[in-house]
Amino acid sequence: MHSKKFLTITFLTFFFSLSYFGAFTQVKQPLRIIMFGAHPDDCDMDGGGTAILFSKMGYAVKFVSVTNGDAGHQKQKGVVLAKRRLAEAKEAGRRFGVTYDVLDNHDGLLMPELAVRLQVIRKIREWKADLVFAPRPNDYHPDHRYTGVLVQDASFMVTVPNIVPEAPALKGNPVFVYFQDKFQKPNPFRPDIAIDISQVYDQKVDALDAHVSQVYEWLPWIGHYSEKVPSDTAARKSWLHSFSRVEITPEVRASLVKWYGKEHGEKVTYAEAFEICEYGSQPDDEERKRLFPMLRP
Ligand SMILES: [Zn+2]
């Protein structure tokens, strides 16, 4: 019975089962995504559509605001404003299908200092992130810029066990990506990845609508366009729908065509684009498709 042939067949069956199981688990391996913004509406605007797509596919997404937003209003401030914005962020998180953390650092006063770097390292490790999003460090707003620096400074340290030893270090370095921006110096944004968010754009606007203090009050006031915001609740959401649309640049269009093919890529009306950071793991195109499974047909 236990002939050599039988043992060989048994071994081969076992081996191929394992290989099949291995391949299966690799495809099914859940992705964990964390996005960092400086303020409790930044991830929402720059990566909200992509976050909805991840969430709809069953992947865990967390937004982290590195400041509490307590300076972002023309009439309110301090604890009152921070509490209002925390409530708005939690409601927006519910509408996006993500969990939302707000760190209690003051808005407008963020510095790329060690204490905040350690907070960022802890958040990435506790979330066991595969993919980390952040602003580029050449944004106009110092809080955005320093959030970019803080995440860059955490990008290698998340793998170093002796730093923040109470939060276990990650075994593999995540992939770090930047949100899109318009800044040209010292180098313009490069859309390595472009995601078609047309199917979820309505849901993105519905979630942005939760940030009443920002999208209908503060941003219009500081941007001198308050008179354009309708007072009626339904009318202002419809205004937000057209106002929030980000223009698709020729570079982003080329990236959409690369990832979705010419026919689909040229028709996309709403998109979010991301640049791969030089720090952290460096994914090839296959790995990029694994990390952004919405790109797989
Ligand atoms: Zn911001």
Structure token pair of residue 137: 């460090």
CA of 66 to the centre of ligand 1 (A): 10
3 state SS of 93: helix
Task: Name the DSSP class of 107.
Answer: T
CA of 242 to the centre of ligand 1 (A): 20
Check residue 42 and give its pLDDT: 98
Nearest alpha-carbon partner for 143 in 97, 176, 98, 112: 112
CA of 218 to the centre of ligand 1 (A): 11
Q: For the packed helices 201-208 and 233-243, what is the interaxial angle rounded to 10 degrees? A: 120
CA of 16 to the centre of ligand 1 (A): 51
Contact status, residue 139 vs residue 39, Cβ threshold 8 Å: no
CA of 143 to the centre of ligand 1 (A): 7
CA of 117 to the centre of ligand 1 (A): 18
Task: Name the DSSP class of 269.
Answer: -
CA of 101 to the centre of ligand 1 (A): 15
CA distance 64 to 73: 20
Residue 8, classified by CB atoms within 10 Å of its CB into exposed (0-12), middle (13-18) or buried (19+), is: exposed
CA distance 70 to 109: 10
Check residue 296 and give its pLDDT: 79
CA of 130 to the centre of ligand 1 (A): 24
Residues by chain with Cβ below 5 Å of ion ligand 1: 38-39, 42
CA of 169 to the centre of ligand 1 (A): 29
Listed in order, strand segments (DSSP E) in 142-202 are: 175-179, 193-196
Residues 6 or more apart in contact with residue 205 via CB below 8 angstroms = 237, 240, 241, 244
Structure token pair of residue 140: 């106009």
CA distance 167 to 189: 33
CA of 273 to the centre of ligand 1 (A): 18
pLDDT in tens, the chain (297 residues): 444 554 444 444 444 444 444 444 444 568 999 999 999 999 999 999 999 999 999 999 999 999 999 999 999 999 999 999 999 999 999 999 999 999 999 999 999 999 999 999 999 999 999 999 999 999 999 999 999 999 999 999 999 999 999 999 999 999 999 999 999 999 999 999 999 999 999 999 999 999 999 999 999 999 999 999 999 999 999 999 999 999 999 999 999 999 999 999 999 999 999 999 999 999 999 999 999 999 976
Check residue 24 and give its pLDDT: 41
Task: Name the DSSP class of 215.
Answer: I
Check residue 5 and give its pLDDT: 52
CA distance 45 to 84: 18
3 state SS of 67: coil
Check residue 74 and give its pLDDT: 98
Residues 6 or more apart in contact with residue 190 via CB below 8 angstroms = 251, 275
pLDDT in tens, 55-98: 999 999 999 999 999 999 999 999 999 999 999 999 999 999 99
